[in-house]
Structure 1
Amino acid sequence: MSWDDFFIKNSKLVLHIYNQLRNSYCTPPLEDVFGIFKYVQLHDIKVVMIGDMPYKNTRDISDIAFGTKISNQKPPLLLERIYANLENTVTSFQRPLNHHLDRWLNNGIFLCNFCFTRTIADPLPYHYHLLWESFINNLVQYISNDHPVVFMLFGAKAISVRKSINEIKSSVVEVPHPIYEYNEFKKSKCFCKARELACELGFTIKW
């Protein structure tokens, strides 16, 4: 199994998505939509973190979910709250040198969203959930069938893909959304839980 194999099997679906996006103003740019697949190879994945959709502010957009290309400024609110949770619950955690999260990528943490794109024109692009629903479900099924990983599902849309995860091999942590469910997220120890599940599966996570 490999990313090449995955995209061959889903070629018609990917073509449909591209055709839908081709004439729309969306972020990230089309050439960056599948950027995560060049940073983390299938066999290297330890953790899959799934959010909702890319940042609304185009200034914050990068070619991976959660991360941003702007490294010398305060991170977006969602990422800031993730950092704060880690600092409060994982004693060994140190903030990455850059907000593109290269250290996480190098440690096998696969970062994506339920929707890999969002349109600029529509602030509430619910139709994008429909556009990406089959792709993200096929993706988590493919990953979880390959080898054991820990899935961290941030918010209701991400949690909806749990039905497609092979939980015979892999483990799942359902996480309150850092923005819309902040009080619950702040009290959660989701990253500690993910690390515990990883140990049970036979590997370690370096946050």
Structure 2
Amino acid sequence: MREFLIEEYRTKTIFPEKDNIFNALRFTDYEDVKVVILGQDPYHGHGQAHGLSFSVKPGVKIPPSLRNIFKELNADLGYEVPDNGYLKKWAEQGVLLLNTVLTVREGNANSHRGKGWEHFTDKVITLLNEREKPAIFILWGKPAQSKLKLINEDKHKIIMSVHPSPLSARRGFFGSKPFSKVNELLKEQGEKEIDWQIENMKS
């Protein structure tokens, strides 16, 4: 896979930038993970992806799936929809924003699927599963739910629904209240709840 990626970055436009590929693991330490939100592959538009699932860089238009996530957050906990989609604040509180594939060609969704990333991210999930401290896994959509087989449901908590994409959100994502459910579970575990409000960048 290393050779494949070196060649791809050399000859094509690949997202995210090399320095950002492992940001999910950089921003959220293994020991600190409370919640895992599994995505698929990075956004493939210019300047969007920066290594956290669903998140975009400051100043970039909020993509449709993330807009729906913010709508559900508003309906669930009353938090206002922010003017940006930069989710680093979540990552810093122990929310691992992990895509199952960590790179993509510009304008070509799923172009790096099946090239080896899945083995790597499956291993991350497996290591979290083996950890003594329980985690909460949020699995939106079929690809994320296919990872259930790696998770011991007796030890860890699972929150599932359809994907927040505009194609499926109305079939069970809206109204699923994942954010308040996470905080209820964290409270039961004696853990600090997540502050899900993303602050506006513009005053």
Q: TM-score with structure 1 length normalisation?
A: 0.80
Matched, 1:157 2:146: no
Name the residue aligned to 1:140: 125
Match for residue 205 of structure 1 among 170, 194, 201: 194
Task: Say what the alpha-carbon RMSD is for the aligned residues.
Answer: 2.2
AA at the equivalent of 1:139: V
State the partner residue of 2:40: 52
Q: 1:85 aligns with which of 72, 79, 88?
A: 72
For 1:76, the equivalent position in structure 2 comes to 63
1:20 alignment counterpart: 4
Quote the residue 1:182 is aligned against: 169
Amino acid at match of 1:18: R
Q: Is the 8 A contact 1:46 1:205 kept in 2?
A: no
Deviation readout 1:123-150 (Å, 9 max, x if unpaired): 453x614522222221111012222111
Which residue number in structure 2 is paired with residue 40 of structure 1? 28
The normalised TM-score by structure 2 is 0.82
Match of 1:128 in 2: 113
User: Is 1:113 paired with 2:102?
Assistant: no
SS at match of 2:98: strand
Instruction: Give the residue type in structure 1 aligned to 2:87.
Output: L
**Consecutive unaligned residues in structure 2, runs of 5 or more:** 197-203
- Label 1:95 to 1:102 Cα distance change in 2 as closer, same or farther (>3 A): farther
Contact 2:41 2:102 (8 Å CA) reproduced: yes
Q: Secondary structure at the match of 1:36?
A: helix
Deviations for 1:89-112, whole angstroms, at most 9, x for unmatched residues?
113x34567532222122111111
Could you tell me which residue of structure 1 aligns to residue 199 of structure 2?
Answer: none
User: How many angstroms apart in 1 are the aligned matches of 2:55 and 2:108?
Assistant: 22
Matched letter for residue 53 of structure 1: D
Question: 2:179 — aligned with what?
Answer: 191
User: Which SS does the other structure have where 2:152 is aligned?
Assistant: coil
Shift, 1:168, TM fit:
3.0
2 CA distance for matches of 1:164 and 1:27? 27
Query: What's the % identity of the aligned pairs?
Result: 28
Q: Quote the offset at 1:202 in angstroms.
A: 3.0
The secondary structure found in structure 2 opposite 1:38 is: helix
CA distance in 1, matches of 2:34, 2:83: 21
Call closer, same or farther: CA 1:202–1:96 in 2, change over 3 Å.
Answer: farther
Contact 1:28–1:117 under 8 Å retained in 2: yes
The structure carrying a bigger helix percent of its residues is 1
Aligned length: 188
AA in 2 matched with 1:160: S
